A and B are shown apart, each in its own frame.
Chain A
Amino acid sequence: MEAIAARPDPAAAREPPPAAPGPAAWVRRNLFSSVPSALATLLVGAALVRVLPAAVRWLFTGAVWAPDYEACRRLEYHAACWGFVAEKHRLVLFGRYPFAEQWRPLVATLLVVAALAASAHPRSWRRWLAPAWAVVLAAFFLLVRGGALGLTYVDPGLWGGLPLTVLLTLVGVSASIPIGIVLALGRRSRLPVARGAASLYIEMVRGVPLITVLFVASFVFPLLLPQGLRLDPLARIALAITLFQAAYMAEVVRGGLQALPKGQLEAAASLGLSWWQAQRRVVLPQALVLVIPSFVNSLLSTFMDTSLVTVVSMYDLTGALRLALGDPQWRNFFIEGYLFVGAVYFACCLAMSRYSHWLEKRLGRWARRPEGYAA
């Protein structure tokens, strides 16, 4: 017996062989694993060596940072003139909003960003979240619009810049999600009327460019309203973006609904759940997690698409930049302006994209699919 016990058990689990250690091994594995790989590494490396120093010089070391027009002119475009951004950043960020009152949209936007951060974690998805958001949005409007609590009234036509972009995206996306869910359920409904109406709406809206919808909302729609009833332009545009986005959201949600195996609905039905209960408790919680990546796609495109509102004389971030470039002294520094605005968009989109990755992982923890749950 003891002789047997002393022998190593051949079935015992063993450690995997160690991966080759050290940076040299990493470089060989990732950069020079084959001749084409080595060539690509050398080519990209050479290009970087040529371009990087010039780029760093143009962007940073050689650039003028002070709002000094003469210094910028002397650069003759051989380096960036961030002086333009330093001079005009308030106009770019807040549009035509009265200069002295710009702290109001700033505070309002920070409030919304803070609320977004606070509601990002699934732990805060409780019943109080909806009323909390109602309060935040009301505070946003009160602050920006004014006309109460000693704040001067600022016409929504003057709202602009980043706060406008954030507002339109927030309202557009959050209102379009529930509408999109209803449309998607309608399109898969067994009732012909619901199915027909949902399909018609989705196909019609998707067949029209957003820019057309915006034109209709701001110029045609008011003519159709009964006399005496007026909707302010900003509300019309927010409504247009919402209804436009809802059609796309519907198709995103439908993709998720279709990915669920039929057995899920059958199991719910066999337990006596009604159709609505089955959708609410079984189908949607799974389908919506499946489509988070496409949701974020829509979110990012809405965020960018808000720049189209300039065609109806609203100045979001991009539009406000164009206002700033209207100053004849600075108009030649548009590259710096667009880089700045691009960086703002990029930072926001990166944050949303990283968040969605995290959320997808966290909510999809159950997604180690049980057997019988076809991929």
Chain B
Amino acid sequence: MSEPIIQFAGVNKWYGRFHVLKDVDLEVAAGERIVICGPSGSGKSTLIRCINRLEEHQQGRIVVDGVELTEDLKSVERIRREVGMVFQQFNLFPHLTVLENVALAPAWVLRLAREEAEARAMQQLARVRIADQAAKHPGQLSGGQQQRVAIARALCMQPRIMLFDEPTSALDPEMVKEVLDVMLELAGQGMTMVVVTHEMGFARSVADRVVFMDEGRIVEQNPPREFFANPRSERTRDFLGKILPR
């Protein structure tokens, strides 16, 4: 395996006295697609939020794209430019139009001219098939449409890594597919993806590796075929028994 693009080595984190991440070691290669699953409270969202330092770890090393995450704000901002993130609650900016949402970061972080930023934004909106809604405000769109805009917004910075934190959990059932379809396409284009999700169908068809977490620990990680057919630990079997249709 070549140099990993994301590397966790002995990472520990506490919320107050609560130990959320315990001795986490994880390596992700460029172009790899990782699905993280596990029961709620197992630390999977915290883990993914450590990658762009929305959460700070207290012990161990996290290296992203060759840069170690530390207190240094400049290196954190640099990494955030390389790492796009999609949230469970979309977190679109309600006061801006769809186009302005997507063009905001290119215009202010990359300092592109307005026309250039907007042209780039339109490209990404077309990529998630929502260019026709560019002039609307997020509040006028359905949940699925909003999440696709959020994906376009993250893609517009041309990141090398995309993080998805339960991207379909807040959606009505009939809108899950339109978001998963966009993610599938992205996976097909060779993007490095780390996805926290309960969509086991997505994990089966896209993931190179499934990581199972419980109580802050990585319990096991395997390619999906192996993971689903042959779970090693009791806890994994128990979890899969609960969420997979029999």
Contacts and interface: CB of A to CB of B under 8 A. Distances in A.
Nearest to B55: A266
Given A264-B91, A271-B154, A368 B85 contact: no
Given A270-B80, A273-B109, A372-B90, A289 B95 contact: yes
Contacts, number: 94
A370 interface: yes
A99 to B, nearest CB: 51
Contacts of A266: 54, 87, 91
Interface string B88-130: 1111111110000000110011000000000000000000000
A53 B95 CA distance: 51
Interface string A261-291: 1011011111111100100011001100100
Contacts of A269: 52, 54, 80
B182 interface: no
B94 A367 contact: yes
Contact of B170 (A264, A365, A371): A371
A268 B78 CA distance: 14
Interface in B120-163: 137-141, 143, 146, 150, 153-154, 157
A272 B109 contact: yes
Contacts of A268: 93
A373 B153 CA distance: 18
A277 B108 contact: yes
Interface in B151-198: 153-154, 157, 170
B77 interface: yes
Given A270-B54, A289-B95, A370 B108 contact: no
Contacts of A282: 93, 104
B91 A271 contact: no
A366 interface: yes
A371 B157 contact: no
Interface residues of A, number: 27
Contacts of B89: 261, 263, 371-373
Interface string B40-56: 00000000000010100
A369 B95 contact: no
A263 B92 CA distance: 9
B139 A272 contact: no
Most B-side CB within 10 Å, residue of A264, A277, A367, A371: A371
Contact of B104 (A281, A368, A370): A281
A267 B92 contact: yes
A303 B50 CA distance: 50
A263 B165 CA distance: 12
B58 to A, nearest CB: 17
A370 B139 contact: yes
A272 B77 contact: yes
A267 B94 contact: no
B81 interface: yes
Given A272-B77, A272-B157, A267 B91 contact: yes
Nearest to A374: B89
A292 to B, nearest CB: 13
Contacts of B109: 271-273, 277
Contact of B90 (A273, A281, A370): A370
Contact of B91 (A263, A272, A367): A263
Contact of A286 (B54, B95, B141, B143): B95
A285 B80 contact: no
Nearest to B140: A368
Most B-side CB within 10 Å, residue of A272, A282, A365: A272
Contact of A274 (B77, B94, B170): B77
Contact of A272 (B87, B93, B105, B140): B105
Given A263-B89, A372-B91, 12 more contacts: A264-B91, A267-B93, A270-B80, A270-B83, A270-B85, A270-B154, A271-B154, A273-B105, A274-B77, A370-B92, A370-B137, A370-B141
4 closest A-B pairs by beta carbon, nearest first, are A372-B89, A267-B91, A263-B91, A271-B105
Interface of B: 52, 54, 73, 77-78, 80-81, 83-85, 87-96, 104-105, 108-109, 137-141, 143, 146, 150, 153-154, 157, 170
20 contacts: A266-B54, A270-B52, A270-B83, A271-B84, A271-B104, A271-B109, A271-B154, A272-B77, A272-B78, A281-B108, A286-B93, A286-B95, A289-B95, A366-B95, A368-B137, A368-B140, A370-B90, A370-B94, A370-B139, A373-B94
